[in-house]
Amino acid sequence: MKKLFLAVCFMTIVCCGLTKAQAQEINFNDSWKFFNAEADGAEQANFNDSKWRNLSLPHDWAIEGPFDYKHNARTGGLPVTGTGWYRKNFKMPQDAKGKVVRIEFEGAMYDAHVWVNGQLVGNRPFGYIGFEYDISKYLKYDGSNNTIAVRLRPQDLASRWYPGAGLYRSVWMKIDETVHVGHWGSYITTPTVTAEKAVVQNETTVVNKENKEVSVVVKHEYFSPAGKSVSTVDETITIAPNSSKVSALYSFILKPERWDTETPNLYKTVTTITQNGKIVDTYETKIGLRSIAFTKDGFFLNNKKVRFNGVCLHHDNGSLGSAVYKRADQRKLQMMKDMGTNAIRTSHNPPSTEFLETCDELGLLVLDESFDMWKMPKVENGYSMFFDEWAERDLKDMIRRDRNHPSIVMWSTGNEILEQGDKKNGWKVAKTLNDYCKEVDPSRPTTMGMNNYSNPYDNNFAQQVDIAGVNYKPSKYSEIRSNYPELPIYGSETSSITSSRGVYHLPIEKYEKHASKHVTSYDIIGPSWAYPPDIEFHFQEENPFVMGEFIWTGFDYLGEPTPYGGRDNSTNGHWNGDWPSHSSYFGAVDLAGFPKDRFFLYQSHWSTKPMIHLLPHWNWKGMEGKEIPVYCYTNVDEAELFVNGKSMGRKVKGKDLTEIKVNFIRYEPKTFQSKYRLSWNVPYEPGTIKVVGYKNGKAVNEEVIRTAGKPAKISLSVDRSKITADGQDLAYVTVKIQDKDGNLVPDADNLVNFSVNGVGTLVGVDNGNQISLESFIEPKRKAFSGMCLAILKSSKSSGKITLKATSKSLKSAEVTIETK
């Protein structure tokens, strides 16, 4: 939902001027000054910031580190607290005087105070929601400097995970005529969508800042995914002085190309506002034509039943922290799609606009979540401090901002809210928030993730949302249906199993913690509420009315290093007891974006394209002759294992079961016979293990693992050989330590040094190791389980970027990408 964008060479707007009756939206990310401490008087225009650091947004100061025991491992062991100042000088053209000038922050972490030319224009505590201010009256239009200053003061124990710190999302300046489309002023729904016809309803808020009544023409033109104009509609409305009015129109689009998870077709709406024969504003919105419906028997997209193969995702992107780069989200979400995922839960806060745009483009369904807590605190400086004053505004703003995204199918008012146990007042707060949602967008249902079974159902709490989200209670699905037969349910958080990529502990046993502070990748270890994915698969199949699941989590994230550190939902708690553990073990993908074995277990259950995966590695020096458990995850009919060419037998998926150890609350058995894993116990001998998959009796795929020799060389591979020269695009380079024959060395931890030449920079390094205290921004990184990662960012110049990787005693490597 953007104004038509005009590229402006910014530091100074005056160089371009303004076209008559043409709105501008200007990216305001460049040429900021930053200072990470208290600075008395920094809000004043004449403050001397000459010694401050120069930078461009997005910026997360905390990710720069360093890691330190004095920081809370619960929030990543990084400096997410303190005071940060941002300042920027700019000039306004004279012809902007008399227009409406607004500044929009897509996110500021957190407790943002904003000044323009020394005047306080506003404060916004919640770091996850965007906001804007009309700053017209504070500006100078005489060619002299204007100054905007922003102060942020994030607190310790304000979050249960890594929130980041700073102006971590984009900032925009908007220059409008006195009559224009309001902030998030477009609301488009599709009351009817069939194969023959779509009804598109468009409610647009038009603002009149003039001191007189005005008459304007509101026109909407709809364009197909191919760019063809397919419908036009308009009306004339009269708006009272200094007020706003909603224009409500509908259109028919014949033979619509519907949006769904397989073909995410996107239409474009161009709205123009014409006053006295001149176009005074143009507003563009992308939409998807689709219908959604929820019943007690499931979720339906375009009248087709769809199960949620969903993941929960926190907002950070590993070594980039919370700084928002669209390419980072594209990579993350495409990997989830490749795993078989079709749905995302934005746990536990509003996501970035770029994130939702990517979900629209990839065909991922979204559960858009607002809060992790209400009035009752989980951590002492959490959102409960702001709830009474800000909850209505923050929730409604989230929905106003996001409601045109076709990917969004549910609004969540909270996660594991402690008010579940409040028999007297909990349900009343839940109802109030539900009513706010319906007021802003009645087209989608409401939901909530509830873990305190059975209190929310007995306390009239779960009944205040349309769909009950059930956290970690798969064995209770049938009981909930029996007691509440009309209530739609789904697994809003499931499994919560933990692992470290490439790490295997023998024998396989159900332990609480391991001396290494890593977790075995045989995928059976988790906290008391957690259980292997196989358990959820089983109960979902037994209860087909359950609409699917959202696993905890798709990716590892910074902070909350369960099972190491502390106890969940406890106030006054620092999680440093198992330092240096400081990041999540929950993900199916590690912090660097490398798939763990569990990625392939979900892929085997959620996808149909034939796949096969084998674990563990085959480097077990000192274990010769001893049995090694070998697992296979596949979606084909049968699999046969070979060790050094000798068959270990063929196993049938669904018939040959694998016993796995379990131990979690509300489940009595201590073992589970899984039909979702194939396994063999084979004596170790160095060489080769190979698994061959069969479908309808024919071999269709295979995977081979070889015993690796000593580290000999570095291998580099890049996700894209060409990126955009916009100062924001990223290239991800995977680094592998290999033996002389090109085999990954699974226990290699060599230190790799990076150097960059050309028109780009190195913005992050990572390896997925949850206990590594290495810097995310220095040009070096140790390998973990044989791998690490380097992230390159483009500049605004076309050319080439070359990354060279070196390590003592290893053959070096380099890779070159092109920027255009």
Q: Give, in degrees to the nearest 5, the angle at Cα 807 between 801 and 812.
A: 55
Contact 530, 282 (CB under 8 A): no
Q: Render pLDDT for 270-281 as a digit per residue (tens, 0 to 9).
A: 999 999 999 999
- Report the chain's mean pLDDT, rounded to a whole number: 95
605 lies in some domain: no
Same domain, yes or no: 782 and 669: no
Strand, helix or coil for residue 11: coil
Q: Is the pLDDT of residue 20 over 50?
A: no
Contact 289, 249 (CB under 8 A): no
Q: How far apart are CA 576 and CA 465, in angstroms?
A: 37
106, 132, 177, 493: which one is catalytic? 493
Same domain, yes or no: 619 and 531: no
First to last CA, the chain: 26
44 lies in some domain: yes
Q: Is the pLDDT of residue 18 over 80?
A: no
pLDDT bracket for residue 570 (50, 70, 90): low
pLDDT of residue 24: 86
503 lies in some domain: yes
pLDDT of residue 813: 98
* CB crowding 343-371: b at 16 or more within 10 Å, else e: bbbbbbbbbbbbbbbbbbebbbbbbbbbb
**Which structure tokens are listed for 436?**
């706010």
* CB crowding 161-171: b at 16 or more within 10 Å, else e: bbbbbbbbbbb
Same domain, yes or no: 701 and 717: no
Domain edge (last residue) among 235, 267, 287: 287
| Own/partner pairs, 232-241, CB within 8 angstroms, 24+ separation | 233/202, 237/206, 238/213, 238/214, 239/179, 239/206, 239/207, 239/208, 239/213, 239/214, 239/215, 240/208, 240/213, 241/208, 241/210, 241/211, 241/212, 241/213
Same domain, yes or no: 129 and 213: no
- Runs of H (alpha helix) within 269-311: none
Domain edge (last residue) among 255, 287, 319: 287
We report the CATH number of the domain holding residue 806 as 2.60.40.10
598 lies in some domain: no
Q: How far apart are CA 93 and CA 140, in angstroms?
A: 9
Q: Is 702 a catalytic residue?
A: no
Q: Render pLDDT for 207-237 as a digit per residue (tens, 0 to 9).
A: 999 999 999 999 999 999 999 999 999 999 9
Q: What is the DSSP string of 181-205?
A: EEEEEEEEEEEEE-SSEEEEEEEEE
Tell me what the mean pLDDT of segment 422-427 comes to: 96
Q: Is the pLDDT of residue 169 over 80?
A: yes
Same domain, yes or no: 644 and 746: no
pLDDT bracket for residue 6 (50, 70, 90): very low
Strand, helix or coil for residue 747: coil
Same domain, yes or no: 20 and 106: yes
pLDDT of residue 140: 97
We report the CATH number of the domain holding residue 95 as 2.60.120.260
777 lies in some domain: yes
Residue with the two structure tokens 């970690």: 472
Q: Is the pLDDT of residue 568 over 80?
A: no
Q: Is the pLDDT of residue 22 over 90?
A: no
- Runs of H (alpha helix) within 340-466: 353-362, 387-402, 426-440, 455-458
pLDDT of residue 651: 98
Contact 616, 504 (CB under 8 A): yes
How many beta carbons lie within 10 A of that of residue 314, not counting itself?
Answer: 25
Amino acid of residue 58: P
pLDDT of residue 574: 87
416, 536, 638, 640: which one is catalytic? 416
Count of structural domains, the chain:
5
Same domain, yes or no: 371 and 281: no
pLDDT of residue 182: 96
We report the CATH number of the domain holding residue 525 as 3.20.20.80
Contact 162, 557 (CB under 8 A): yes
Same domain, yes or no: 172 and 64: yes
Same domain, yes or no: 283 and 302: no
Number of H helices, E strands in the chain: 8, 47
Q: How far apart are CA 499 and CA 522, in angstroms?
A: 8
Q: Render pLDDT for 585-634 as a digit per residue (tens, 0 to 9).
A: 999 999 999 999 999 999 999 999 999 999 999 999 999 999 999 999 99
| Residues ≥6 apart with Cβ < 8 Å to 687 | 618, 643, 644, 706, 707
**Which structure tokens are listed for 301?**
């997209």
167 lies in some domain: yes
Amino acid of residue 539: F
Q: How far apart are CA 457 and CA 786, in angstroms?
A: 48
Q: Is the pLDDT of residue 796 over 60?
A: yes
pLDDT of residue 7: 30
pLDDT of residue 3: 43
633 lies in some domain: yes
Residue closest to 189 by CA, chosen among 203, 177, 169, 173: 203
pLDDT of residue 666: 84
CA atoms lying within 13 Å on the CB side of residue 745: 22
Same domain, yes or no: 267 and 303: no
Domain containing 783: what range?
713-819
Q: Is 43 a catalytic residue?
A: no
pLDDT bracket for residue 8 (50, 70, 90): very low
CA dihedral 516, 522, 523, 529 (to 10 degrees): -60
Q: Is the pLDDT of residue 572 over 80?
A: no
Strand, helix or coil for residue 38: coil
Q: Render pLDDT for 292-336 as a digit per residue (tens, 0 to 9).
A: 999 999 999 999 999 999 999 999 999 999 999 999 999 999 999
580 lies in some domain: no
Same domain, yes or no: 752 and 672: no
pLDDT of residue 571: 56
- pLDDT > 90: what percent of the chain? 95
Contact 94, 38 (CB under 8 A): no
Domain edge (last residue) among 287, 306, 339: 287
pLDDT of residue 643: 98
Same domain, yes or no: 450 and 493: yes
